[in-house]
Structures are given as structure tokens and as C-alpha cells.
Amino acid sequence: MRTLLKNGRILDPSQDLDQVSSLLIEDDQIVGIGTEVAQAEVDEVYDCTGMWISPGLVDPHVHLREPGDEHKETIVSGTQAAAAGGYTTICCMPNTNPPLDSPALVDFILDRAASPESGGVFVAPVGALTRGMRGEELADLSALKRAGIIAASDEGFPIQNARVMTQAMEFCVQLDLPIMAHCEDTNLTKGGSMHEGAMSAMLGLKGIPRSAEEIAVVRNCLLSLHTGCQLHIMRVSTWGAVEMVRQAKFLGAPVTCEICPMHFAFTDEHVGEFDTRFKILPPLRTQVDIDLLVQGLTDGTIDCIASDHSPHASHEVDVPFEEAPFGSAQLESAVGVTLTLLTHTGVLSPLETINKLSTKPAQILRLDAGTFRSGESPVAQVCVIDPNCEWTFDRHKTFSKSKNTPFDGMKLKGKTMLTFSGSEIYRDALFSDDRYLVK
Amino acid sequence: MSRHLLGIRHLDKDQIETLLSLAADFKLRVIEDKPVPKLNKQVVGMLFFENSTRTRVSFEMAAHYLSMKTANFTASSSSMSKGETLKDTILTLRYERLNGLVIRHRLSGAPTLAAHHFGGPVLNAGDGQHEHPTQALGDALTIIERKGDLDGLVVAIVGDVEHSRVARSNAWLLSKMGAEVRFVGPKTLIPALPALLPGAVFYDLATGIANADVVITLRLQKERMSEGMLSSIGEYAAMYQVNKDTLRYAQPDCLVMHPGPLNRGIEVDDVAADGERSAITSQVENGVFVRMASLYWAFTQDEARHDQVAEE
């Protein structure tokens, strides 16, 4: 079986490759890139004229909710949503019920992800850093690593005790395991539901100050500097957090960080009249933060873009603002939002866009993905994006079980058209039949 | 589209004036035992998810004067205590054909959610730290009775502004009507970034109430001490108590107001609370008439009828 992706803009940041060319997949492997492969004898041809052909996207931050919260999302529905978003490798978070703190649960997730009904993307589990994510005793990290976790994190239950975090980092240095940290001083965020600012004051909602995030960023960066532990900071949201990461990198700490689309798409003003779709942690900040986050994206301080796909059921979010959970479905909007707000505005070049969405997160978490270089991915992982496709996001047309998204009804420019993980795992309805030819 | 009273923030000056003139008219009619409009086919649900005596009784009296029927709910006796969501409670009441709702809730924005799911008018009887619109209307009517007009007055709101829905509703109403609003209190109890709230911030009581025509004192919740926002009641009283001494800085005929219940000896002393400058009992009395106006305004959308009532 030979499949040709013909005449697209090949973008592979791992080789600094940006040229109009074709890509040939034989069986489940990429066997050639170049104008000459277009002449090869093939079984099927996808005409990718005007589109980008990139390594399958890599999402370092996804909540699949299984086991325990299958009413929000399952591994099957979540991986299908990922495939539709252009992702071929996703990292799933450990805040399931029970938390992902035992090797048996890692096995369960990998089995479910590999099942035929799932979306066909690679799932790389992130294990709990402490037992039960209680921030007290370390989880059995060596056993978890043998079972297949690619990083450890206590996600939404950040370790408050600096001694515990230091010990976790020391152990992870020994295990050569990255730590992913959601940065939050919970004494400062207790009871808060949105950014502490003019909007929270007006709405009478308890605010979450920038300092709650920044204090934890500084602490974790310093601990990373002193222990040498690889630290990936999840979803930075304030200008101060970006500046702290910039300083930590300058000092030589092995630190990286991510941003999620919500934080460059919206400000606290979007909460409007208590709209729970805009409730996220860390909270939506202000335009000043967005401007400096964008600068951080441009200068490389912010390494990558994570979806922070945090699905919830509709009945859970149709409640008073303070009772609503944080987060929303993001996998199927991330590409469109990123291209609309960062690429088409000139903040990121196409190559840098793919770098932030694929190559860089794969490098940070040492995943076999994010590149077209031969032998560096188990199977062909390819994403085809039409950067000029104008469409309106419709939450009822998504694969995710969660229909809770602030992007519903938004006009976007740029859409995932095809996703390959070995073979085709997603083809968009907007990908014209005329472009697909079986020989 | 139903007309809701969710907050003063959402009203314009004309709407506020309409409500206040309706209230003044109803007051006259009730006192002189003249007929008031009858909304006697209307049933209003009184949903008090948070304890309240004065607001609840006041709304019930208002409904009584308008010949409305009321259906009562409390959080402890309702199905909310069985785990029902607010949305489902509201939908149930909608299909039991209640005509309107009055809601008091501990969470900011709860009446907004209710309005979204309920067919008829929804009136906010106080939500979290967000708004308490009928309290502000009652206070405004009281000030107008004593001062003639709101335009140009200096009004100091003293105390725990951060946690006060009364402060927010009053600030919106008074500023929209042309008064100068000041927030006075310790930095820990004033929003960190009050820029969207219409008022200037003062941390010093003497400066904040200097030349004030009206001083609205807010109730100090004792839990602010345990939360570390204040050192002690004594220190708060020493710095922010409205009393005979501190009122010297305000205008000689300055009105002293308080939404109740009072902590005598903490935010206000007996002289200020019971003296001739106190308007606290008028606030309570006027609460009934502004709630009549609010119910009438929300239940009858025809603007022409309001003018007619006023002219009758």
C-alpha cells in the first residue's frame, strides 16, 4: 500500500524543512519526501495543493478522564477528538479517579488507547508524582516509568510543600523523568474562580491573583535549577510567569513551558455575565498579559502550545460560576485558534507554528513524534492542515463527549484536513472528494 | 423576553428613575390607603437559598400590597438539599407555572443563571458579593426623601466593600444618578482593582467621609478576623467606626445609613445609629415600597402603564 500526499507545503521543524513537495507513505512508514516521489507508482493520492503537510501534532496536556469520569470523556472519544484535531501523540493527565499512580492503571490506559475503536493516536501517560496526588509521599515512580509514563505531575493538585517537591525532583533526576508542574500557591487561590482584577471586583467573585501562579513558578524553577531536574511548566498565563521562566532559562535551569489557546485568545472580560465556559485554571488574565505572552511565544521563552483539553459534561457547567469546574474541550479547536490568532497575524511563521504544536513538545517530553526524520517515529505520523480554510466552530460537530467550549460559533481560519498515524485516522468533511484519488 | 431585575449595573438612569418614582407613588398610596395596582393572578416564588429576614419579609409585604400570591422555598426544605441543581429547581418552578421568582443566593450570579432558565421575570434579592438591587433602590428613595435629589451628593460607603453586594449596588445606582461615590475601608477589604466599580477609594475614614452628605456603613462579618483580613474588632472600630466623633468630618446634616443587621459598637455606635441623622429605619420602611415597584416593573412590561399609574 503506497499513499502519496501530493504537492503540499512540507513543514518539518526538526530538519528546518519548509518547501512545496510531496510525501510518500508505504505501508505505515514515510519512505520519501521530495518532488520526485510524486512520480512514484502509488495506490492512492491526496492532493494537498495549498495545504501544509507536517508531522502529526503533539499535545503535552490532555485530560482523557478515564478511568473514573467517563461521563466527561473516555479514552475512545478523547483520542477520536485528538485525531480530528490533527494530533497523533497526546499526553494524558493523571488526575483520573483513581489517580494514575499505579502501573496497573498505566497498562489499562495504554490498552484502551490501542483498542481498535479508539482514535488511533499514541497516548503517552503522565503519572502522578505523589501517591493519590496528595502531595505527601512519592508515587512508585520507577515502576510507573517502566510501565510507560513519560513524565510525572500532580497536575491540578500542585505540591505545596517545597521539601516534598525537592525530593520528587531529586528522585526524578535519578530516573531521568521530566516533571510537569501546574504552578499554583493554593493558599492564594483558595475560593477564587477568576482572575483577580477589575472584572472579579465588579462581579463579586473571589479573585485569583497573578502572584499565586508566579510564586509557584519561581519556586519550581529554583528547585529545578538546584536539583537539575527537567521541569516543564504547564499553561503559563501571566506576564510575570513568562518573565520568571525567561530568567530561569537564563540561569541555566532545565525548564520549559507551554501555553494553551484560551490564554492568548481571551481575557477576564470574556467572563461577561458569569459565563462558565470561560472558567479555567489558571484564569484568563488581561490584554497586558496576552501581549507579553505573545512576546514569550515569539522569543521562544514559551516553548510549545498545549490544548489543555479539559472536558466536562454540560450539566456540570450549567451552574453558578463559583460551582463550575475549571476547563473546557479544546482538542478540536486548538489548530484553528492557533492559526487564526498567531499564524495569520504574523506572530508565528508556519514552520514555528508546527514547531510549537508538534516538534518542540515531542522533544521536551522525548516522544517518538514531531519529526519526519526516518527511524524517529514508530509509524508515519502526519497532519495535513489547510491554513486558509475559513470555518465556524460548531460544538455539536465534535468527537469529544464534552460540548463545553468557549470557541463555539467562532469564525476560524485554518483547519486540520487529514491525520495519519500509520494510516489515515481522520479525514475532514471539508477535504474535497476531488482531492482524493484511488488508483 | 421577560424583564429581570438582576442588578443596578444593568439599568440606565431612566429605568432607575422609573423604579424610584413608582416606589414613591406606591408609598403614598399605601400610607393614604388609596388603591394600588392589583397583580392578583400572579404567583411569585420566593427562593431564599440564604437566610434572610428583612429582605424576605419586605418582598412578601410588597407582594401582599400588590395582591400577588407567594410561594415560599428555603434551601433546607427544598429539593436542593437532595442534590438537585439550581437549574433543575428553576425548571421545575417554571413548569409548575410560577409567574416570577425572587432569589437570594450565596453565590454571585445565581439569579443570572435562574433568569436564563426561567421563563418569567427574575428579581435578585441579593447574590453572593455581586448585587442587591432592591436594597440600593430603598436606600436611594430614603436619600431622596431627606435630601431632595441624588445628583451632586457626596456618598461615602464605609467598611467591607470587597465582600459587599450592598456596596456594589449602591455605588452603581448613586453614580448613575449623579452622586459622587467613595469607598472607604482597610486595604484588605477593598477590591485590589476596583477600576470597573464607580467610586474613588479612601483608606482613611476622616478623608473619606470629609464633607459627605451621606455615609453608608456596611456590616462587618466577624469571620474577616479569622481570615486574617483584620487584626481585631477593636482595631477596626478604632479606625473605621462611624460615630459622633468621626461624623464631625462629614456635613453637619449628613445622613447615616446601614443595610442591617447592625453590629452596634463595631462599624457604628448608638449615637450614629439612633441619632437624628440616622435614616436606618426609613431604609427598612422604604424597602417595602421599592420592592413593590420592582415587582410591578418586572411583571408589567408596558412602559405606558407605569406612567399611567404615576398620574392616576
Tens-digit pLDDT profile for residues A100-112: 999 999 999 999 9
Q: Which residues of A touch B107 (CB under 8 A)?
A: 320-323
- CATH number 3.40.50.2000 is the correct assignment for the domain at A56-364: no
Residue B1 has pLDDT above 80, yes or no: no
Helix (H) or strand (E) holding A75: helix A75-85
Are B127 and A315 an interchain contact pair (Cβ–Cβ within 8 Å)? no
Position B302 pLDDT exceeds 60 = no
Rounded to an integer, the average pLDDT of B267-279 is 93
Tally of domains within chain B = 2
* Residue A214: per-residue pLDDT: 98
Q: State percent of chain B over pLDDT 70.
A: 94
Q: Name which of A79, A120, A57, A66 is nearest A400 in CA terms.
A: A79
pLDDT category at B51 given cuts 50, 70, 90 is: confident
State whether B110 and B220 are in the same domain: no
Contact A21, A33 (CB under 8 A): yes
What confidence category does residue B304 fall into, taking pLDDT thresholds of 50, 70 and 90? Answer: very low
The answer to whether residues A20 and A10 touch, using CB atoms and an 8 Å cutoff, is yes
User: What are the sequence ranges of the domains in chain A?
Assistant: 2-53+381-388+412-438, 56-364
Q: Do A202 and B9 touch (CB under 8 A)?
A: yes
Confidence of residue B2 (pLDDT cuts 50, 70, 90): confident
Res A40 pLDDT > 90: no
- Residue B137 scores a pLDDT above 70: yes
**Whose CA is closest to B209, among B155, B271, B257?**
B155
Containing structural domain, residue B251:
133-283
- pTM for this model (two decimals): 0.94
At residue B39 the predicted structure's pLDDT band, cuts being 50, 70 and 90, is: very high
Closest CA to B3 of B291, B287, B294, B290: B294
pLDDT > 90 fraction of chain A, expressed in percent and rounded: 99
Cβ of residue A138 closer than 8 Å to a chain B Cβ: no
- Segment among A174-188, A268-282, A313-327, B212-226 with least mean pLDDT: B212-226
If you average pLDDT over residues A394-409, what whole number do you get? 97
**Protein fold of A2-53+381-388+412-438:** Urease, subunit C; domain 1 (2.30.40)
Same-domain pairing of B279 and B301: no
Of A100, A90, A89, whose CA–CA distance to A143 is shortest? A100
B243 and B294 within one domain: no
Predicted confidence at residue B307, as pLDDT, reads 46
For chain B, the helix, strand and coil percentages under 3-state DSSP, each to the nearest 5? 45, 15, 40
d(CA B190, CA A296): 33
Average pLDDT rounded to a whole number, residues B158-173: 97
Share the mean pLDDT of chain A.
97
The predicted-structure confidence for A71-100, as pLDDT tens digits, reads as follows 999 999 999 999 999 999 999 999 999 999
Q: Single out the residue of B165, B208, B168 nearest to residue B186, CA to CA.
A: B208
pLDDT for the residue numbered B311: 42
The CATH number of residue B85's host domain is: 3.40.50.1370
Longest Cα separation, chain A: 67
Per-residue pLDDT at A179 exceeds 80: yes
In a shared domain, residues B231 and B270 = yes
Our CA-based measurement puts residue B164 at a distance from the nearest CA of chain A, in whole angstroms, of 8
Of B87, B130, B192, the CB nearest to A204: B130
Burial A124-159 (b: 16+ CB within 10 A, else e): bbbbbbbeebebeebbbbeebbebebbbbbbbbbbb
Q: Is residue B153 part of a domain?
A: yes
Please check whether residue A188 touches B, CB under 8 A: no
A2-53+381-388+412-438 matches A56-364 in fold: no
DSSP state of A346: T
At residue B78 the predicted structure's pLDDT band, cuts being 50, 70 and 90, is low
Residue B235 lies in a domain: yes
| Identity of the residue in A201, A205, A209 whose CB atom sits nearest the CB atom of B194 | A201
Compute the average pLDDT of residues B108-124. 96
Residues B162 and B210 occupy one common structural domain? yes
List, in sequence order, every residue forming a beta bridge with B189; answer none if it has no partner. Answer: none
Q: Is 60 exceeded by the pLDDT of residue A29?
A: yes
Average pLDDT rounded to a whole number, residues A379-402 = 97
- 3-state secondary structure at position A202: helix
Looking at the predicted structure, is the pLDDT value of residue B74 above 70? Answer: yes
Give the best residue of A190, A199, A203 to mutate against chain B (max B CB count within 10 A). Answer: A203
Average pLDDT over residues B276-296: 96
B157 in Cβ contact with B131 (< 8 Å): no
With a CB cutoff of 8 Å and minimum separation 6, the contacts of A429 are none
pLDDT at A340 over 80: yes
pLDDT of residue B195: 84
**Cα–Cα distance for residue pair B276/B258, rounded to 1 Å:** 14
Q: What is the pLDDT of residues A2-12, one digit of tens each?
A: 999 999 999 99
- Please list the active-site residues of A: 308
What is the complex's ipTM, to 2 decimals? 0.93
All cell numbers assigned to B298: 418586572
Return the amino acid letter for B216: I
